Each structure stands twice: as structure tokens, then as C-alpha cells.
Chain A
């Protein structure tokens, strides 16, 4: 199985700060990576597909990058509504696997 390692597991930043979350795959997955956002008590929401494609309706302050084994999710200017847990997910091979999650909070 492909292991997905996210870091950090928790981060606290100020409104307007740029924040970056990293996700590392245990083997080359090319760009077969998605990012999800999950607010407390809610279902996950697809933010970015294929490592860098922003889903329709997702604010442009979100961006994704990387390929191979190393990926990033960046929020250019943190907003209150961005408080959530973020997960990366690989779909290069079954079983699908998710990172452990990064909880983002406001300082």
C-alpha cells in the first residue's frame, strides 16, 4: 500500500498568513493526488485534483503543487472560513490512501 505522510499535523496561523501543508507519498505517484477540506462535523470537500487543478468554486487563495512523491497545499492568505482539517489522497493505485490530516486553526 502507498503510505501518505502529511505535515504538520496541526498548525496555527494568523488571518492573512500564508500557510503550507506538505504531503509525501511512499512511492512515485506522478500527479495522482487530491486535496480535501473537512470542516468539523461535515463531509470532506474536494479542493484540488490531479495535484494542482483547483475545483470550481474553490477560492483562488488555495493552490496545489508537486509531483512524484512530494506535494504541497498552500493557502496564500488564511481566512476564518479556512479553519478545517485538510487531507491529501493518492489514487495512483488501490487501496486509495489518505494522509493523516492537517488541522488548521487561527492564532
Chain B
């Protein structure tokens, strides 16, 4: 069974940092491209970042470029998102999603990040 489990969220002050993890199982992680998508409370979905299967190619939404960094450890079947210089508008549930940008077929349960003083 394909499983993606996010962790690392929580309450952080504006300007602070956080590292999200997405631990996967049930599929060959190293063969899959991955994405992060977020959803602010009561709002719609916003794509955040993409990383290729090898980790050599990464893309970001303009709203997070220069502040967030996506990475992966294929030996640990894990995906990461480093969130720096956090703002109130980054408050959201963050989902990791398996697949290329055109086919995100499995998603984690989501992890809430709250940026507040």
C-alpha cells in the first residue's frame, strides 16, 4: 500500500524556520518525482514545489522562491521541505504528493504549519 506521512509542522514565529518531512512506503520512492502543495485554512490548493526523481531538478512557486528549499533522500525514502523566513501567509496545511506535476496520484494526510506571534 502506498503511504506518505508528513511530519514536522507546528507553530512558528514570523521570520522563523521549520523543516517538513514526508516519509514514504509501499512504492519505489527513488523512481518518482514529488511535489509539495499547500492549503491555507478554508482556502484552495496552491502548488509549492517540485523535485525530480534524482533531485537534480527543482521548481518553486514565486511566493516561496528563495525562502523554501525542497530536497530528498532516496536512501531514506523521504522528501523534505525547508521553510525559512516564514510569514503569516505561509500558514497552511502542507501536503506531499507523489508523481510528476501532471499526475499527482497519491497524497499524504497533510501537516499544519501555523506562523503567528
- Judged by DSSP, the binding face of B is loop
Residues 83-107 of A at the B interface (beta carbon under 8 Å)? 87, 89, 91, 94-101
Interface on chain A toward B: helix, strand, loop, or mixed SS? Answer: loop
Q: In the complex, are the beta carbons of A46 and B104 less than 8 A apart?
A: yes
Q: Flag the segment in B12-20, B39-47, B79-87 that touches A.
A: B39-47
CA distance A100 to B44 in the complex (A): 6
Chain A residues in 8 Å Cβ range of B37: 44
- In the complex the two chains form, what is the Cα distance from A46 to B35 in whole Å? 14
Among B37, B44, B100, B110, the one with the most A-chain Cβ atoms within 10 Å of its Cβ is B44
Distance in Å: Cβ of A41 to nearest Cβ of chain B: 9
B109 contacts A43, CB within 8 Å? yes
Does B95 count as interface, using CB distance less than 8 angstroms?
A: yes
Residues of B within 8 A of A (CB): 35, 37, 44-47, 50, 59, 61-62, 95, 100-105, 107-110
- New contact pairs (5) apart from A43-B110, A50-B102, CB-CB < 8 Å: A44-B95, A49-B102, A98-B45, A98-B46, A100-B44
10 nearest A-B residue pairs (beta carbon): A91-B102, A96-B47, A43-B107, A98-B45, A101-B44, A91-B101, A95-B61, A46-B105, A100-B44, A96-B101
